[in-house]
Structure formats: C-alpha cells, structure tokens
Amino acid sequence: MSFIENLIANVIREDVRANAAYAVADGSGFVLLDQMENPYELPRALREELGQRLADAVLNRYPRGSYATLKAKVCDKLGIPAGYDVMLGNGSDELIQIVTTTVANQKRRATVLAPVPAFVMYSRAAQFAGADFVGVKLKKDFSLDMEAMLAAIALHQPAVVFLAYPNNPTGNLFAVEDIEAILRALGENGIAVLDEAYQPFARQTFMDRLPEFENLVVMRTVSKLGLAGIRLGYMTAAPQLLNEFEKVRPPYNVNVLTQVAAEFVLDHVEVLDAQAEAINAERTLLAAELAALPGVEVFPSAANFISMRVPDGAAVCEKLMSEKVLIKNLSKMHPMLANCIRVTVSTPEENSAFLNGLKAALQPGA
C-alpha cells in the first residue's frame, strides 16, 4: 500500500473508513424536489432590508456567545413555554450530534434507539459518538410497533430515543398516546427527543408538554420553515437538562450572518407561516392527484413532502432526472421502503412538472 493508504489504515477509525460520506446531490439546473425545502423566497422588500442588515453585520468579531437576542426572539415567536430557554445549533444535525455526544457514556457503552425507517442522522450521530444504535421496525402502516418499542426499551435501556414528529421519510405523525407511553417507559433512565422539524406543516407539537415530562427534549429547525440556507436549529428541555447539553455545544457555533438573518426574519414570521399554509394547501391537491394515478400508493403526510410507492422507484427517479426534476429514491434506505419515492411539495408550477414527469415515467415501456 502507499504511504497515504497506510496512514489512513493506521489512524482513521475502522467504522469511519467503512462508511460513506453523507451525499448531497448537485441540483444545478434541476427542479429541486428532493430536500424538503420551502420553494418560496421572502418578498423583495424584506430581502432588500435583510440585505442591508447583513451588510451592516460585524464580521471581524466573534458572535455574542450567549445569543441572548436571537434566543429571546425564538422563544417569543416560536412557541417556547414560559420559563424554558433554547439551545441553538448549526442546523438540527449539530443538535442531534450534541445530544448523542452528551449521553455517550465512557464507562458503559450507551444505546441510542429510534423507530426505523427514520432520519439517517440518528444512527450516524450515534455511531460517531461511540454509542450503539438500535432500530425498531415500524408497522406496515408506518405506525409505531409499541410492543416492540417497549420491549427494546426494557432490553437495551437506551439513553436516548429519537422520534421524528412527523416522521421522515414516511411523513406520518405517531400517535400521541404512544409517545406518552415511551416517555413513561424511559422514566429517569432515558431521554426522548421529539424532532419536530416539520412542525410548521403538521401544526401539532409536544412543546407544551415539556413541564409534564422532564425527560422530554423538543428539537426543531427553521430550515423547513423557509430558511434552509442559514442553518439554524434549536431545542429546549428542562433547564437543568438543557444546561448539560450546553457543556458540549461548541462556542460560537452559530455564525453572525445566521444570527442577523434569523433575528430579522423572526420579526416577520407571519410571512413564513403564510407560505407554510400555501404549501399545505398544495400538499392536499398533490396527494389527491397522485392517489388517482394507477400503480401509485400514497402515504398520508403531515410534512411538506409526500412519500409514495410506485411500480419501479429507481426507474421513476431516473426518468424524472432526465426531465431535470430531482426527487428522492427511498428504496435503499430500508426494506420497508422498496420502490418508494419522496417528493417535496412545492409551487403549483413545480408540482405540475413533477406530476407530468411521473405520469410519463409510469407509462408502459417508459
């Protein structure tokens, strides 16, 4: 082997070498319907005002480490209960990593548990933090298999259970009573993280249940709300618990430009809320049109995407890519998702482009 090959073999963790980097497709020139982004920009007047705010940002100094102004706006505008603070992250991905790093016990290897199929970062964060990951298969209808979940909690005693609410990539909301049962089963021995990334579209939340469950963490992001480009996540929990996570958070993890942009846009959050309502209306229309297509099984969604099963998921994705429409092929994520695809709900024009491409791909001999 060469010098660099020997160096990597001797120094880099074996499980890292065996893994692949998280792949993000280059969507230049495509209709981007694979990343669950809000397709709407801010109104021009707000963009111009924001541009001036960003131009005035102080770039030669570190951000204010406490982020007091931004955190106060998040608490005020995004429904954080009175008496609770938030922790900010470079997207919710960083917050997931912070949680898993915080609980990765050095004396006894910790376990992170989640229903699967689920957001891939739960298992990746557990792996890179040195924790074990246990996936509990969902039922055929993508609801929680509570018998299996409670048995896994009893057997593995997980430090953290991640529950996406709504779930990604399936789009459904788990039953409230099931989440309550998991929180009670964990008790003082484990934390449940409710990942509410798609809350702007679901309009359901466990945020107001925080005082009731001291082992509950509620995590969100502004990415799906319409600010994916600034990479800002936030989470809240019982103050004593949140303080432990703060010890692991890197200093200055939210940059000045993100801070300025978020503070400005949160003063106009009603614009983003209106965009979310428009997306929800389009979701209803798109789901109905998809359900009418032969060979398409549409799964209920409370998010800004729709997942569905088609006769040949790989062929559909390939055909749409040839039409410059980028969607997500879910087939490789989990056996339950064989021939499943996921599409972001977008503008009427982009939804039509997807529908036309899908109809063509479903034609015999396509």
- For residue range 30-85, what is the model confidence (pLDDT) as tens digits? 999 999 999 999 999 999 999 999 999 999 999 987 899 999 999 999 999 999 99
pLDDT of residue 114: 98
The continuous run of DSSP H or E covering 170 comes out as none
Give yes or no for a cis peptide into 117 (omega within 30° of 0): yes
Whether 11 has a pLDDT exceeding 70, the answer reads yes
* Identity of residue 327: I
In this prediction, residue 23 has a pLDDT band, given cuts at 50, 70 and 90, of: confident
Residue range 92-112: mean pLDDT, rounded = 92
Two tokens, residue 118: 């689920």
In this prediction, residue 364 has a pLDDT band, given cuts at 50, 70 and 90, of: confident
Residue listed under structure tokens 């896994």: 152
Q: Domain ranges for the chain, please list them.
A: 3-43+270-362, 61-267
pLDDT of residue 305: 98
**What is the distance between the alpha carbons of residues 281 and 306, in angstroms, rounded to a whole number?**
13
Fold of 61-267: Aspartate Aminotransferase; domain 2 (3.40.640)
pTM summary value: 0.95
Is 210 in contact with 84 (CB distance < 8 Å)? yes
Region of poorest pLDDT, from 20-29, 153-162, 278-287, 342-351: 20-29
The overall average pLDDT reported for the chain is 96
> 325 forms bridges with which residues in the sheet?
31
Whether 254 has a pLDDT exceeding 80, the answer reads yes
**What is the distance between the alpha carbons of residues 170 and 152, in angstroms, rounded to a whole number?**
21
pLDDT of residue 309: 98
pLDDT of residue 22: 85
Two tokens, residue 44: 């021009």
Whether 239 has a pLDDT exceeding 70, the answer reads yes
Whether 366 has a pLDDT exceeding 70, the answer reads no
CATH number of 3-43+270-362: 3.90.1150.10
